[in-house]
Amino acid sequence: MTTHHSPVVVGYDFSHSGHAALARAVSLAARAPHHVLHVVCVVNPHEPIPSIPSYNGVDYMYAARVQEALAIEVQQELDRVEVTSRLHFFVHARIGKPVDEILRLASEVGADLIIVGSHGLTGIERIVVGSTSEKIVREAGCSVEVARPKKYPEVELMPVVEVAHQDHTYVPPHRYEYEDHRVLLRPVEWPLL
C-alpha cells in the first residue's frame, strides 16, 4: 500500500506573521498527518535576522544556526498543539530573496500548498518595500494561503442541542430544468450568411 504525502511549504521569518503561518501549518498537519511540512526561513545576504546575531556576516555557518533556531521554533509550536499521530517536517534555511527561495523550494518538493504570513503593509510601504506574500500568490505554481495573526477575540458559540429522533416521511428531491430563452434578433426566414 502506498501512502500519499502532501508537501506544504511554510515561509517563516521569526516575526508575528511568520508565527501565524507556522501555527496554521502545524494546525493543518495535526489534523491531517499526510501533510509534510517544509518550513523555510530565507535570510537576506546583506542583513542577518535581528533575533539571531551574526558573527562573521551571513554565510552558510550562519544559515546552519538559523536552521537550528527554526527547528526549535517548530518543536515549540508542535508542543502547543495536540498532535495525535506522527507528523513529519523539514527545516530549510536559505540565503537569497524570499520570493525566489520559497518558490524554488516549492518547486523542488512538489508543494501542494504554500503558507506565508502577511506583514500588512499598505500604501507607500507596500510600493517601496513590496509584498512578499502578494508576489508569491501571483507567481506560485500551487495554492497559496496567506496567514495573519488573529486580531479579534474568541467568540463563544452556542451549545449544540440534541434533537429527539422523529420519523419523517420521505420527500423526493425536487427536479428543476432550465431552458435558454434568448430573443432572436432576426426573423427565422432570413438566411445565415
Read off the pLDDT of residues 143-173 as tens digits, 9 standing for 90 and up.
Answer: 999 988 778 888 888 888 887 777 777 777 7
Give percent of the chain above pLDDT 90.
Answer: 38
Whether the per-residue pLDDT at 34 is higher than 90: the answer is no
139 within domain boundaries: yes
Residue 172 lies in a domain: no
Per-residue model confidence (pLDDT) at position 151: 82
Quote the pLDDT of residue 103.
Answer: 95
Kindly state the DSSP code that residue 23 receives in the 8-state scheme. H
pLDDT band at residue 181 under the 50/70/90 scheme: low
- Listed as own residue / partner, the contacts of 16-19 with beta carbons closer than 8 Å and 24 or more positions apart are 16/117, 16/149, 17/117, 17/118, 17/119, 17/120, 17/147, 17/148, 17/149, 18/117, 19/77, 19/117, 19/149
Q: Confidence band (pLDDT; 50, 70, 90) for 184?
A: low
What pLDDT is attached to residue 10? Answer: 95
Residue 112: band (very low, low, confident or very high) from pLDDT cuts 50, 70, 90: very high
Question: The CATH number of the domain where 77 resides is what?
Answer: 3.40.50.620
- pLDDT score at 1: 38
Q: Please indicate, yes or no, if residue 14 is contained in any of the structural domains.
A: yes
Is there a domain that residue 181 lies in? no
Distance, in Å, from the CA atom of 15 to the CA atom of 10, rounded to the nearest integer, reads: 13
In a domain, 86, yes or no: yes
Total count of domains within the chain? 1
Model pLDDT, residue 32: 85
pLDDT tens, 62-93? 999 999 999 999 999 988 887 777 889 999 99
Residue 128 confidence class, pLDDT cut points 50, 70, 90: very low
Provide the mean pLDDT of the chain: 83
Print the domain residue range for 22.
6-147
Looking at residue 120, what is its pLDDT? 63
Bigger pLDDT: 40 vs 164: 40
Does 130 reside within a domain?
yes
User: Cα separations (Å) of 27 from 58, 79, 151?
Assistant: 32, 11, 18
Q: Is residue 114 part of a domain?
A: yes
Please, which residues have CB within 8 angstroms of residue 148's CB and are 6 or more apart in sequence?
Answer: 17, 20, 117, 118, 120
